[in-house]
DNA sequence: GGGTATTTGTCCGTATGTATG
DNA sequence: TCATACATACGGACAAATACC
């Protein structure tokens, strides 16, 4: 930041000269960067334009700057070459690159959580954004909105969730937030119970467990069996809060059967407990009708429902929601009244209109179909190339499969071997709360990012990597 | 008796699924009962066996049936008679309307915090959004990015803040977040000190005080004099954390002079205290030279700097940043590693490019000029119509003025009288930590939303409302 | 794509204070 | 004391490049 002192004995233009020169020498002003125009700087510093000009002139004279009439002063290369014609870049090309990551080249990526670019409805999003920006509704985004999120979006969500997931709630109970982690943060901040304990599935999504752990919670791992979370272990624990993924357990893919859901709700009712239902990938079911959510069969307000737009739109969107039972609303008001919603209003309104116009459901169907195709192809390829060497978990839903290696191969080795064939697969270790519970003989194949056509080749490479 | 309709739009297996499910739920099929075999039912209904099988599979998946190879499907125990309907009802058409607000019609609004629609660079934003959505960079937003925010944006911000506010930091110290409230939440979560006390200016921005109060902090009010926060009162308090708005105190508009800044930093150094510098409207200065930020003259890492894009872009954008001193970074990692950034990646990238191409500074200059015009007109009108009846505070910067009524008129009456003339002005009461410190003889006129041309008429109406 | 408004460096003249002779 | 030269600072007019519509 340039600072001048008009009272100083040193002339103003020299003060400017020295500061800019120093910034160039220490690298704050990099080569090619356009510096503030004489007029703008003069106004900012409340001095005459020519004062700035003489400072700049001196810098040009000494080779620190290059001047181009009507288009500004630009920082020169320091090891300047006199006979080289100084071409001006139309726009300053700032080298904006992330810190070096010694990346291995990857041909096929089974990264979980990422999506392929064509999964995003870019045309639609563009259209709706453009419409909003061009219309008089632009005014809507120019003020602070409702703390829980745009009302129209919450109404749309309520309707959508009611008929797609059976979720029963008022718009009032829905709070928009920037991702499922934020959703959990909100819930934790409400401090529903004195004791800081939470039961979680073992294994479970680490993005969720991190939030509880970072908030000083003791996490009680409850094993996941072939039919979901072990109720006996759960009920014998002292937890009064459980985080579960009933529709499609992460990462095993198990679906919680209806009788266990009911038992779970009964237990919650008797113990005044809270069931946190994380319905993170409810949009993706490839067989049969969706199973009604826990929330939809809860009659006692024991369920906190969490959903997200990340999985079928974009992980970068940062839009999710939490639905609180009514008895928690006063606690919410107490803790968060006066807080502004963290989701950009523009995106909320765009989203509300997409849903209202039916595009959301249409998009979901389309994207679900596309992923089902990938799912089927992947499954077929896996069966063909490694059918008798692995168990495949988590079929019929979601965006990933989990492979269990019958011969006990170790995860770290498997990942390494895959990388040697330039294929990325994901470890399961991060999802285990207690490392000892895991035999380390599984990997995850996320198929959100990879293209349909690449799958057979990728699986072939994997088979070569692991079984040759 | 099962009945199917092959002509129906609904798949046959779903029809079967639903009827059996309904029979189980309403008790027609009791626990333990063996149901018709797939072969038998297929023959009965004149359909393929696989169709029946997929219906049964779905029922097994959801726990209604148990399948035992070579011995048939058996109805499961539900432990519970669901006499409630679990059926998913059809979508209901909800009218999308906000909850009733008995709104008075308003002709001119001096609402603080809102902006007029033309303050938003819609064309530019649209162009950059479209470019991003159309390009191959779309892939970038399809995965979870850096937890602190997009790296390129943080680099751009670092450079911008260095030369516009003198802020000295690495990109590493910058964390993007969804507004200044989120910024404070992050800081609070780091628990820099054991004692939960914070000193705040009296009066101060309530959006900030709410966050501290909601987190159980004791707030120590420190009076604001004509030259800013009272240092004697501050240093005699037990606080080790202070929230301040040095550039343009909210809401009084006082600028903290340089010697007090240095004293403040010295005090912080001696007491290991943290100064939270909220530079919320640094872009708006209409007179005089910009004063360097506290952060820029801090040599001991005592300053936490908070900035936002809300004031000169859009309040609905939800983009702000907090700059932590280096010694707090380990605490940040400890608390937030594994957390995802809450700001949508798309907007982060758009913003980064806007800054890189110089549009951000240009926009700021333009918007600053536009607001200066409004500021001057408003000031002139106020002088003309009520010059001798009010003191005008907070000139020369920001997006609002504060009027102090010399004859002691009461805020609530003033607001009411203004509303009768269909003009909205804002109270100052919410910004006082302790109501007794406030004589209730002030109102705030925010001029972010009102148009230049409307100002004289609006002021005329106000004069009529208050002094006729 | 072509016309218009804005931004920008450039050049000009001027004012003021100070040192020189 | 006066005239001159010089350094410094300021603002208006102009043309070209750029942005905007």
A47-61, A74-88, A288-302, B314-328 — which one is most confidently predicted on average? B314-328
Residue among B130, B318, B399 with most chain A CBs within 10 A, to mutate: B318
CA distance A134 to B229: 44
DSSP β-ladder status, B274-278 and B241-244: parallel
Nucleic strand C under 7 Å from the C-beta of A72: yes
Residue A68: the pLDDT is: 86
Of all residues in chain B, the one with the smallest CA distance to A143 is B114
Measuring from the CA of residue A71 to each C1' atom, give the nucleotide at the shortest distance. C8
CA distance B16 to A373: 25
Residue B101: the pLDDT is: 46
Residue among A160, A259, A312, A316 with most chain B CBs within 10 A, to mutate: A316
Nucleic strand D under 7 Å from the C-beta of A47: yes
Q: A241 pLDDT exceeds 80?
A: yes
Q: A283 pLDDT exceeds 90?
A: no
Q: How many CB pairs under 8 A join A and B?
A: 285
How many angstroms away from the CA of B206 is the closest CA of chain A? 8
Residue A294: the pLDDT is: 93
Q: B372 pLDDT exceeds 80?
A: yes
Q: B264 pLDDT exceeds 60?
A: yes
Length of chain B: 468
Which of these, A449, A452, A455, lies nearest to A112 by C-alpha position? A449
Nearest residue for C11, CA–C1': A50
Is omega for the bond preceding B203 within 30 degrees of 0, making it cis? Answer: yes
DSSP string for residues in B208-221: HHHHHHHTTPEEEE
> CA-CA distances (angstroms) from residue A451 to A53, B44, B144?
57, 43, 19
Q: Do B144 and A261 touch (CB under 8 A)?
A: no
Q: Do B289 and A113 touch (CB under 8 A)?
A: no
> B129-133, long-range: CB within 8 Å, 24+ apart, which pairs?
B129/A126, B129/A129, B129/B346, B129/B350, B130/A126, B130/A130, B132/B346, B132/B349, B132/B350, B132/B353, B133/A120, B133/A122, B133/A125, B133/A126, B133/B346
Residue B307, both tokens: 């900035």
Mean pLDDT score of chain A, rounded to an integer? Answer: 89
What is the distance in angstroms measured between the alpha-carbon CA of A38 and the sugar C1' of C13? 19
Q: B371 pLDDT exceeds 60?
A: yes
Nucleic strand D under 7 Å from the C-beta of A13: yes
CA distance A187 to A189: 5
Distance of CA A9 to the CA centre of its chain: 56
Residue A149 near residue A174, CB atoms below 8 Å: yes
Q: B37 pLDDT exceeds 80?
A: no
Residue A396: the pLDDT is: 80
Read off the pTM: 0.87
DSSP β-ladder status, B274-278 and B303-308: parallel
CA distance A114 to A117: 9
Residue B94: Cβ within 10 Å count: 14
A25-29, A87-91, A140-144, A340-344 — which one is most confidently predicted on average? A340-344
Distance of CA B195 to the CA centre of its chain: 27
Choice among A243-257, A261-275, B86-100 with the minimum mean pLDDT:
B86-100
Q: Do B210 and A45 touch (CB under 8 A)?
A: no
Choice among A110-124, B61-75, B201-215 with the minimum mean pLDDT:
B61-75
Grade residue A6 by pLDDT with cuts at 50, 70 and 90.
Answer: confident
**A432 burial class (0-12, 13-18, 19+ CB within 10 angstroms)?**
buried
A359: helix, coil or strand? helix
For residues A396-423, give the mean pLDDT: 94
CA distance A231 to B273: 49
Q: B42 pLDDT exceeds 80?
A: no
CA distance B379 to B375: 6
Q: Percent of chain A having pLDDT more than 90?
A: 61
Q: B452 pLDDT exceeds 70?
A: yes
Q: Say which residue, B96 or B344, is predicted with more confidence.
A: B344
Grade residue A316 by pLDDT with cuts at 50, 70 and 90.
Answer: very high
CA distance A352 to A344: 12
DSSP β-ladder status, A72-75 and A65-68: antiparallel
Beta bridge partners of A75: A65
Residue B146, both tokens: 């850096």
CA angle (B409, B415, B419) in 5-degree steps = 135
Mean pLDDT score of chain B, rounded to an integer? Answer: 87
Residue A288: the pLDDT is: 63
Give kind and range of the element (H or E) at residue B323: strand B320-323
pLDDT digits (tens, 9 = 90+) for B132-188: 888 888 888 888 889 999 999 999 999 999 989 999 999 999 999 999 999 999 999
Residue A190 near residue A327, CB atoms below 8 Å: no
DSSP string for residues in B107-135: SEE--SS---GGGS-HHHHHHHHHHHHHS
Of all residues in chain B, the one with the smallest CA distance to A256 is B62
A10-19, B133-142, B267-276 — which one is most confidently predicted on average? B267-276
Which of these, B404, B408, B423, B406, lies nearest to B462 by C-alpha position? B423
The contacts of residue B244 (CB under 8 Å, 6+ apart) are B201, B229, B256, B264, B275, B276, B277, B278, B294
Residue A46 near residue A52, CB atoms below 8 Å: no
CA angle (A344, A346, A348) in 5-degree steps = 70
Grade residue A105 by pLDDT with cuts at 50, 70 and 90.
Answer: confident
Choice among A50-54, A99-103, A130-134, B176-180 with the minimum mean pLDDT:
A99-103
Choice among A4-8, A86-90, A140-144, A410-414 with the minimum mean pLDDT:
A86-90
Q: Percent of chain B having pLDDT more than 90?
A: 61
Residue A125 near residue B133, CB atoms below 8 Å: yes
A464: helix, coil or strand? helix
Grade residue B72 by pLDDT with cuts at 50, 70 and 90.
Answer: confident
Q: Sign of the CA dihedral A121, A127, A128, A129?
A: positive
**A90 burial class (0-12, 13-18, 19+ CB within 10 angstroms)?**
exposed
Residue B77: the pLDDT is: 67
What single DSSP character describes residue A285?
Answer: B
Residue A424, both tokens: 């990325």
Residue B432: the pLDDT is: 97
Beta bridge partners of B275: B242, B303
Nucleic strand D under 7 Å from the C-beta of A163: no
Q: Percent of chain B having pLDDT more than 70?
A: 91
Grade residue B118 by pLDDT with cuts at 50, 70 and 90.
Answer: confident
For residues B196-221, give the mean pLDDT: 97
Choice among A202-211, B47-56, B384-393 with the minimum mean pLDDT:
B47-56
The contacts of residue A102 (CB under 8 Å, 6+ apart) are none
For residues B263-271, give the mean pLDDT: 96
Choice among A182-186, A330-334, B47-51 with the minimum mean pLDDT:
B47-51
Q: What residues in B contact A319, CB-CB < 8 Å?
A: 344
Q: Say which residue, B245 or B103, is predicted with more confidence.
A: B245
Distance of CA A419 to the CA centre of its chain: 25
DSSP string for residues in A312-333: TT-GGG--EEEE--GGGHHHHH
The contacts of residue B361 (CB under 8 Å, 6+ apart) are A36, B160, B164, B355
For residues A406-428, give the mean pLDDT: 95
Choice among A202-211, A454-463, B68-77, B440-449 with the minimum mean pLDDT:
B68-77
Grade residue A136 by pLDDT with cuts at 50, 70 and 90.
Answer: confident
Query: How many alpha carbons lie under 13 Å from residue B343 in its C-beta half-sphere?
Result: 32
- Given B63, B339, B344, which is nearest A260 (Cβ)? B63
CA distance A415 to A435: 18
CA distance A120 to B431: 43
Q: A90 pLDDT exceeds 80?
A: no
Grade residue B1 by pLDDT with cuts at 50, 70 and 90.
Answer: low
Residue A141: the pLDDT is: 85
Q: In what order do the strands lie in the sheet with A197-202?
A: A174-177, A320-323, A303-308, A274-278, A241-244, A197-202, A218-225, A228-229
Residue A78: the pLDDT is: 67
Length of chain A: 468
Residue B87: the pLDDT is: 39
Which of these, A215, A148, A219, lies nearest to A188 by C-alpha position? A215
Which of these, A381, A437, A467, lies nearest to A110 by C-alpha position? A381
CA distance B8 to B2: 15
Grade residue B92 by pLDDT with cuts at 50, 70 and 90.
Answer: very low
Of all residues in chain B, the one with the smallest CA distance to A166 is B88
Residue A263: the pLDDT is: 92
For residues A169-179, give the mean pLDDT: 96
Note whether A380 contacts B: Cβ–Cβ < 8 A: no
How many angstroms away from the CA of B265 is the closest CA of chain A? 19
Grade residue A69 by pLDDT with cuts at 50, 70 and 90.
Answer: confident
């Amino acid at each position: 930041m340039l600072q001048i002192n008009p009272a100083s004995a040193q002339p103003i233009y020299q003060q400017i000269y020295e500061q800019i020169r120093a910034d160039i020498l220490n690298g704050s002003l990099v080569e090619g960067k356009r510096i503030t125009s004489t007029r703008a700087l003069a106004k900012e510093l409340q001095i005459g334009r020519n004062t700035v000009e003489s400072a700049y002139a001196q810098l040009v004279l000494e080779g620190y700057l290059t001047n181009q009439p009507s288009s500004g002063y630009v920082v020169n290369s320091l090891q300047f070459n006199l006979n080289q014609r100084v071409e001006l870049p139309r726009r300053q090309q700032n080298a904006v690159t992330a810190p070096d990551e010694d990346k291995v080249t990857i041909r096929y990526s089974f990264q979980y959580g990422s999506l392929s670019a064509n999964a995003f409805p870019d045309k639609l999003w563009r259209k709706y954004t453009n419409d909003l920006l061009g219309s008089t509704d632009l005014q809507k985004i120019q003020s602070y909105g409702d703390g829980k999120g745009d009302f129209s979006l919450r109404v749309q969500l309520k309707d959508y969730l009611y008929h797609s997931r059976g979720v029963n709630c008022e718009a009032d109970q829905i709070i928009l937030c920037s991702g499922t982690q934020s959703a959990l943060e909100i819930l934790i901040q409400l401090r529903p119970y004195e004791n800081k304990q939470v039961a979680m599935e073992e294994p479970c999504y680490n993005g969720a467990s991190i939030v509880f752990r970072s908030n000083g919670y003791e996490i009680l791992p409850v094993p996941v069996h072939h039919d979901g979370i072990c109720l006996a272990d759960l009920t014998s624990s002292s937890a009064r809060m459980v985080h579960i993924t009933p529709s499609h357990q992460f990462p095993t893919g198990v679906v919680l059967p209806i009788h266990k859901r009911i038992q779970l709700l009964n237990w919650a009712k008797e113990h005044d407990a809270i069931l946190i239902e994380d319905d993170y990938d409810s949009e993706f079911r490839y067989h049969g009708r969706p199973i009604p959510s826990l929330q939809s069969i809860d009659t006692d307000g024991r369920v906190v429902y969490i959903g997200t737009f990340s999985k079928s739109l974009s992980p970068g969107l940062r839009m999710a929601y939490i639905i609180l039972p009514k008895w928690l609303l006063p606690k919410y008001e107490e803790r968060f009244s006066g807080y502004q919603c963290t989701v950009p209003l523009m995106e909320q309104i765009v989203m509300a209109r997409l849903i209202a116009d039916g595009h959301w459901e249409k998009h979901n169907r389309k994207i679900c179909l596309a992923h089902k195709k990938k799912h089927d192809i992947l499954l077929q390829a896996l069966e063909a190339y490694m059918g008798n060497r692995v168990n495949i978990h988590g079929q019929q839903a979601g965006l990933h499969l989990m492979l269990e290696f019958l011969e006990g191969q170790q995860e770290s080795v498997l990942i390494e071997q895959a990388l040697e064939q330039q294929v990325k697969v994901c470890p399961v270790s991060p999802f285990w709360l207690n490392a000892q519970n895991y035999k380390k003989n599984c990997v995850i194949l996320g198929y959100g990012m990879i293209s349909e056509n690449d799958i057979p080749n990728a699986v072939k490479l994997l088979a070569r990597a692991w079984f040759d």
